[in-house]
Amino acid sequence: MMGLLLMGIKFWAWWATNSNAILTDALESIINVVAAAFGLYSIWLAALPRDRNHPYGHGKIEFISAGFEGALIAIAGITIMGKGVYNLFHPQPIQQLTLGLALTAGAGLANYLLGVYLQRAGRENNALILIASGAHLKSDAYSSAGLVAGLGLVMATGIPMLDNLLALGFGAVILITGYRLVRESVAGIMDEADYQLIEKMVQTLREKRHTGWIDIHNFRVIKYGATLHIDCHMTLPWYYDLERGHDEVKAFEEVMKNACSGPVELFVHIDPCEPPANCALCPVQNCMYRQQKQEAEVIWTLDNIMKNQKHQL
């Protein structure tokens, strides 16, 4: 309802002023309303429990929703720029700018406050669609602020061409915003590695490392909505029994859960150490099966932990 109200206010401002710059703000509001409706559906679908057809859950819909919103934003940006170019050659009169500026400023403030709220809720719940919608609303508010300043300049100078130049500028900003959302959604759908997130996990692993964790490699993280799926290979002493190995995996799982803000699911493949090849890197003290003294310890980094091979000297 709030989105429809703000859209109505912005179109009222455009109708009153006949300003292309204000039209850019109004057209983007259509995107806000459509994207909000699809976003609500996406949030509902992402919250459904996993089923036989979707064993990893429905979280990927958030990336599709963000991409859909980004595509609509990009189309709006192209349309706005096209109209701005057209009216550079076919100018039209501007009127009642004072009323238009007041309506645009009020709608922009409401968008900013709503955007801050959605981003905060998105970070708390690790929901990409809420974060994306919040970022979109805040960018819309910034555009409105710049729009108010620019149209104030039109009033002060009496140069109507500035209105079309403003439309071109804000159209370009909107187009870039749409591209970034599409790019982020494609990265999520394609399971692109989030290096910042993995670096945070690797740092936690270095700090909370157990002595028996001789090596960790082939470390991968996939996002399904708010849930993170972590795959890796862990090298443990070959003489650990099944119960001890299970305990070490559970400890590893707790470390990972504490390093992340949302739900975590792990699939850990256990490799037995291979004396004497692994002895030189093994930190286990008083090992009765050691065949070579320890010469170094594996220091996990973003680069080496993701490789699908055991670490060696």
Of 133-137, 167-171, 217-221, 277-281, the range with the highest mean pLDDT is 217-221
Average pLDDT over residues 42-62: 82
Place of tokens 């490789």: 307
pLDDT at res. 181: 82
Four-way CATH pick for 195-281: 3.30.420.610, 3.40.630.30, 3.40.50.300, 3.30.70.1350: 3.30.70.1350
Q: Mean pLDDT lowest for which of 5-14, 18-27, 262-271, 282-291?
A: 18-27
Determine what percent of the chain falls in helix, strand and coil, rounding each to the nearest 5. 60, 10, 30
Average pLDDT over residues 131-141: 74
Helical (H) or strand (E) element with 157: helix 128-157
- pLDDT above 70 (res 190): yes
* Structure confidence by residue, pLDDT tens digits, 285-307: 888 899 888 888 888 998 899 99
Q: Domain-by-domain residue ranges, the chain?
A: 2-189, 195-281
Greater pLDDT, 151 or 269: 269
- pLDDT above 80 (res 79): no
Helical (H) or strand (E) element with 222: strand 215-224
Quick check: do 2-189 and 195-281 share a fold? no
Class of domain 2-189: mainly alpha
DSSP 3-state assignment of 266?
strand
Helical (H) or strand (E) element with 180: helix 161-189
Average pLDDT over residues 198-227: 90
Greater pLDDT, 74 or 241: 241
The structure's pTM equals 0.67
Average pLDDT over residues 72-101: 74
